[in-house]
Structure 1
């Protein structure tokens, strides 16, 4: 169940889970520099794999250490989305990802942004990350190096591109499924906010 912003967990910015999230966030410009400025594709993919593949670490630490915070709840999904958006846009720009893949992901992000704004307008926090969304993020990240491998090595394209598309469609399906779950939850909250409060008889 979601709560109003005033009833949320304390901010607690300086915690170990938030430090991990900040380090992951710092990897985004490093990835862009390695890929665009130096063309070190392998090093860029390593940064991407570490930053995206460790998205579960901060959440695990927050629960294990009892350091769940509002700041972490906001920053963690934001960093996950930034990793995906930056990666797909940059990799598409250099011709290593198909534009169809990028278009479907960008449309989903627009839908989710509109949902979050609607919740904020009513005074609610963003919904907590669902395990379906986390799984989708992991699978989508797994498709990136496969697509890059297919684009960089002709010998690998015969098997890497079909594998990349299989991972991509699996991830995209889960990604949109998680969006549907969030939207259903958000609509329920917004309807409850608009419903008149019943009054009892004296």
Structure 2
């Protein structure tokens, strides 16, 4: 199985469309709509139900991208909507778990601060996304976080192995957060390097139409 680009086919020529209502984009929106459901369940201390919702969110993280590549439904909207929805969802989930006392404070801090720095840098240099390729460490980081957060919530569901589940969750979240810091630093360096490269080529980093010449 491919770690990156799952669903990619060699027998078709991909076309990026401007359509909004594609199957992958609808899946992304449905997944994002589950986030407030998760928040409400945690607030109501319905931890088992919240775990199920979060497990669905985590386990389907790859589905929209897979379908887009498998069935040639890649869109300009999906290219920014999917990562944006994923990042916002993970941030909201982390803050919700920290505020509810389920997760340690460093989880939200490690996820939110790097993302805010990256978002601010991208807006300042490019006026939006610099359209960087997702790295392998970024994928691994995401997988660890998406597995660790539901496990941490599951450790609050009454059962005989709560301490063991919590230990497993932390063993996933700690390297996940460290990987997030690493990946964020790498993306930040790539962002600055791309900005300099475009400038040296005489191109405006805010003019996406000219990026193909870089």
Q: TM-score range by the shorter chain?
A: 0.7 to 0.9
Question: What's the counterpart of residue 13 of structure 1?
Answer: 20
- Distance in 2 between residues matched to 1:174 and 1:127, nearest whole Å: 17
Question: What's the counterpart of residue 71 of structure 2?
Answer: 65
- Distance in 2 between residues matched to 1:57 and 1:66, nearest whole Å: 14
Q: Structure 2 length as normaliser, TM-score?
A: 0.78
Shift of 1:39: 2.4
- Distance in 2 between residues matched to 1:102 and 1:88, nearest whole Å: 5
The alpha-carbon distance between structure 1 residues 196 and 125, as it changes in their structure 2 partners (threshold 3 A), is closer
Does residue 1:28 correspond to 2:31, yes or no? no
Secondary structure of residue in 2 paired with 1:55: coil
- For residue 173 of structure 1, the aligned residue among 175, 178, 186 is 178
Q: Structure 1 length as normaliser, TM-score?
A: 0.82
Shift of 1:15: 0.8
Q: Which structure carries more helix by proportion? A: 1
**Residue correspondence of structure 1 range 131-150 to structure 2 within 5 A:** 131-150=136-155
Shift of 1:180: 2.3
- Distance in 2 between residues matched to 1:55 and 1:40, nearest whole Å: 23
**Residue correspondence of structure 1 range 1-202 to structure 2 within 5 A:** 9-36=16-43, 38-121=44-127, 125-153=130-158, 155-195=160-200, 197=202
- Distance in 2 between residues matched to 1:154 and 1:133, nearest whole Å: 33
Q: How many residue pairs are counted as aligned between the two chains?
A: 188
Gaps of 5+ in 2: 1-14, 203-214
The alpha-carbon distance between structure 1 residues 51 and 34, as it changes in their structure 2 partners (threshold 3 A), is same
Q: Is the 8 A contact 2:35 2:89 kept in 1?
A: yes
Shift of 1:157: 4.3
Shift of 1:107: 1.5
- Distance in 1 between residues matched to 2:59 and 2:140, nearest whole Å: 11
Shift of 1:161: 2.9
Secondary structure of residue in 1 paired with 2:18: coil
**Can you list the C-alpha shifts for 1:12-45, whole angstroms capped at 9, x where unaligned?**
1111111111111111111112221x32211112
